[in-house]
């Protein structure tokens, strides 16, 4: 039964979770600015699960987009764990994690959003293919008025962030923390095609604006 750890420090809520064979067995979260540190969350779930980090089958770090400082802390932690442990350490985007958290049984298109500030949003569309979550397109950095989604789409967004007016008519699934859904999916083998061994912050990637003139 595969056992995976996932953690996120780039979202408004820092979180960590351990899952075994698609079932979350330990989880910890707190407000990123004032709550426990990422390392405290990781130690909490390790202790709750009763599993040494070296006995894990894999570790997933969320690589952004999100808080600049939080992403750097998360990736530095992941690099340290990779150096110390004989355990695969891989990255997943926060957009994919949001879509995974929101994924409903009837599987419409899920539009994942992360606030990029200055009236811009990071956005990516996903759908389900069998048991797998599949990215329909690459992530974009888009001006709020240019946001669009296909009919019947579902918006996935963090609990603390407002839904942009352009998508306000769509159904919304809000996430409080992301690590639990990611750990469960990773331990079930549902994320291989979305994971990357490159522990690079997603905010360094070349986002393509929908409207190049903006």
Read off the tokens for 72: 């750097």
Q: What is the mean pLDDT of residues 114-137?
A: 90
d(CA 190, CA 49): 21
Give the tens place of pLDDT for each residue, 55-81: 999 999 999 999 999 999 999 999 999
Run of H or E residues at 133: strand 132-135
| Confidence band, pLDDT 50/70/90 cuts, at residue 213 | very low
pTM of the model: 0.92
Give the tens place of pLDDT for each residue, 25-61: 999 999 988 878 999 999 999 999 999 999 999 999 9
Same-fold call for 3-94+177-204 versus 104-175 = yes
Cβ(56)–Cβ(81) below 8 Å: no
What's the chain's Rg over C-alpha atoms? 16
Q: Which CATH class is domain 3-94+177-204?
A: alpha beta
Domain ranges of the chain: 3-94+177-204, 104-175
- CATH, range 104-175: 3.30.420
């Amino acid at each position: 039964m595969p056992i995976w750890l996932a953690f996120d420090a780039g979202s408004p809520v820092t979180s960590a979770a351990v899952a075994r064979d698609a079932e979350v067995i330990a989880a910890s979260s707190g407000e990123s600015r004032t709550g426990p540190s990422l390392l405290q969350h990781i130690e909490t779930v390790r202790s709750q699960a009763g599993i040494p980090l070296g006995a894990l089958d894999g570790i997933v770090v969320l690589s952004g987009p999100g808080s600049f400082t939080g992403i750097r802390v998360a990736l530095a932690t992941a690099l340290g764990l990779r150096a110390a442990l004989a355990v695969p350490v891989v990255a997943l985007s926060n957009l994919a994690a949001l879509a995974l958290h929101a994924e409903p049984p009837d599987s419409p298109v899920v539009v994942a959003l992360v606030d990029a500030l200055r009236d811009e949003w990071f956005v990516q569309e996903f759908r389900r293919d069998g048991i797998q979550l599949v990215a329909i397109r690459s992530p974009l950095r888009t001006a709020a008025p240019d946001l669009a989604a296909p009919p019947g789409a579902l918006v996935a967004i963090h609990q603390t962030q407002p839904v942009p007016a352009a998508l306000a008519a769509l159904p919304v699934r809000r996430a409080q923390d992301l690590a639990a859904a990611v750990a469960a999916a990773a331990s079930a083998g549902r994320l291989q095609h979305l994971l990357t061994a490159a522990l690079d912050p997603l905010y360094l990637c070349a986002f393509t604006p929908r409207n190049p003139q903006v």
